Amino acid sequence: MTRHDLPKGMISATSTTGTHAGYMPGWANDFETEALPGALPQGMNSPQKCEYGLYGEQLSGTAFTANPPERTWTYRIRPSVKHSARYERIDLPLWVSAPNVLPDVTSLGQYRWDPVPHTDVPLNWLTGMRTMTTAGDVHTQIGMAAHVYLVNQSMEDEYFFSADSELLVVPQEGRLRFATELGIIDVEPKEIAIIPRGLVYRVEVLEGPCRGFVCENYGQKFELPGRGPIGANCLANPRDFKAPVAAFEDREVPSTVTVKWCGQFHQTKIGQSPLDVVAWHGNYTPYKYDLRTYCPVGAILFDHPDPSIFTVLTAPSGVPGTANIDFVLFRERWLVAEDTFRPPWYHKNIMSELMGNIYGQYDAKPQGFVPGGVSLHNMMLPHGPDRNAFEGASNSNLGPEKLENTMSFMFETRFPQQLTEFAGKEAPLQDNYIDCWDSLEKKFDGKPGKK
């Protein structure tokens, strides 16, 4: 991992607690970083006067009394209140929030979409967001939205934050830079980024066009799942999450800040870059994570566990064991189980499953679920392998087999997912998706000996 090529005028720290310049390792660490020497107060948070004439300011990501609290202290050129003037409503009609139940769009069904195609129309992080489904209620901070983004244009002196949500970003094509108040995160396919609620940032295209998926989490923050009997290792290991080192801009140019707040978008005009945090410490940060470091655990004799065994991150709902959102990864792995139907089994699920393909072929759907594509198996809607997958898995010789060239994911929520108008009427819906189960045969004739 190398240090970033910084945007012009941006000054960055080197890593203070880790081995990599640009990023600091460790999920939920209490990080500290400074882009100018001595900018970070030591032994206290609020000195009477900060070094360099900086302002001290706390960003609280959880209630003060949450356990553990998540907050970050920033030392910045101007307090955030100077990056916020009067707000005007703006429209971003394709970025939709829950509740959004439409009378003429049927969400009940098994659905699959081809990749949303790129376009020549200039699209940035805000105008390029296409909501596919919403669930729960943004006003009460439960549920989520699933988006596809198409981005071919950098934000120029434009900044954004979501007061509604934490964003989990899953690139599928192209490379993006998130220049945030707390530093810079670059992501590409096979990596993810997590942008916390309230953090101001700008998104730049490093290599386009860019397409990917976003899970917008209205609820409690993502955390690492409890591993239970698995123990202390494997799945996503904390050290593989990377927080950025401090980086700031001292740039006085007309700028806009757009805020997503209670499902609506508002814009304010300011005279400088809000990315002016010179030093910070705390545990409320953006992250990047390389999905190739995810260590899957699975069946080694017969049967296989529920797909929850592949959970990367989980966002609790308040009901123990029942997630607001699970982010689940299906990646390369060995299949070795004996006398076992190895693909995902047929099932109905109280949880609602939205899947995306990052690359390769998914084992339950060898055809039709293509990279960039999305599928939805909603609350209590039956689904499972198509006929080819069933026949293949039922009749193959069960030697050790490596699933190669495959990376798909699932955003799974306890709430039913409602299709947006875009998903139901504009996105490339595969009308024939449910036909994939048509040719499944009745094999039962009352006589034994079919095994």
Residue nearest to Fe ion (CB): 353
Site map 378..407 versus Fe ion, x via CB under 5 A: ------------------------------
- Measuring CA to CA, which residue among 242, 269, 276, 244 is closest to residue 255? 269
> What is the tally of helices (H) and strands (E) in the chain?
2, 26
- Measuring CA to CA, which residue among 146, 157, 186, 163 is closest to residue 373? 146
CB of 362 to Fe ion, least distance (A): 12
Q: Is the peptide bond before 47 cis (omega within 30 degrees of 0)?
A: no
Residues 291-320 that bind Fe ion (CB under 5 A): none
Q: In the annotation, is 304 catalytic?
A: yes
Show the tokens assigned to 229. 């009997």
383 is in an annotated binding site: yes
Helix or strand run (H / E) with residue 389:
helix 387-395
Task: Please say which residue, 371 or 385, places its beta carbon nearer to Fe ion.
Answer: 385
CB of 326 to Fe ion, least distance (A): 12
Task: Please say which residue, 85 or 434, places its beta carbon nearer to Fe ion.
Answer: 434
362 is in an annotated binding site: yes
Task: Please say which residue, 34 or 353, places its beta carbon nearer to Fe ion.
Answer: 353
Nearest-5° Cα angle at 282, 125 to 163: 35
Show the tokens assigned to 29. 């660490």
421 is in an annotated binding site: no
- 3 state DSSP class of 319: strand
Specify whether the CB–CB gap between 151 and 183 falls below 8 A.
Answer: no
How do strand 158-162 and strand 255-261 relate by DSSP bridges?
parallel
Site map 60..99 versus Fe ion, x via CB under 5 A: ----------------------------------------
405 exposed, middle or buried (CB, 10 Å; 0-12, 13-18, 19+)? exposed
Task: Please say which residue, 105 or 381, places its beta carbon nearer to Fe ion.
Answer: 381
353 is in an annotated binding site: yes
Task: Please say which residue, 34 or 326, places its beta carbon nearer to Fe ion.
Answer: 326
* Number of residues this chain uses to bind Fe ion (CB under 5 A): 1
Q: Which residue has the tokens 């953006």?
A: 286
Task: Please say which residue, 186 or 353, places its beta carbon nearer to Fe ion.
Answer: 353
What span, in angstroms and rounded, lies between the C-alpha atoms of 342 and 355?
19
Non-local CB neighbours of 180 within 8 Å, separated by 6+ positions = 195, 199, 200, 201, 244, 275, 286
CB of 406 to Fe ion, least distance (A): 16
Catalytic residue among 20, 118, 281, 304: 304
Facing residues of 315 across strands?
325
CB of 64 to Fe ion, least distance (A): 39
Q: Which residue has the tokens 């729960």?
A: 136
CB of 107 to Fe ion, least distance (A): 16
Show the tokens assigned to 360. 């390769």
CB of 376 to Fe ion, least distance (A): 11
Residues 340-359 that bind Fe ion (CB under 5 A): 353
Show binding-site residues for Fe cation: 347, 353, 383
Show binding-site residues: 347, 353, 362, 383
Show binding-site residues for homogentisate: 362, 383
> Which residues are part of the catalytic machinery?
304
Contacts to Fe ion by CB under 5 A: 353
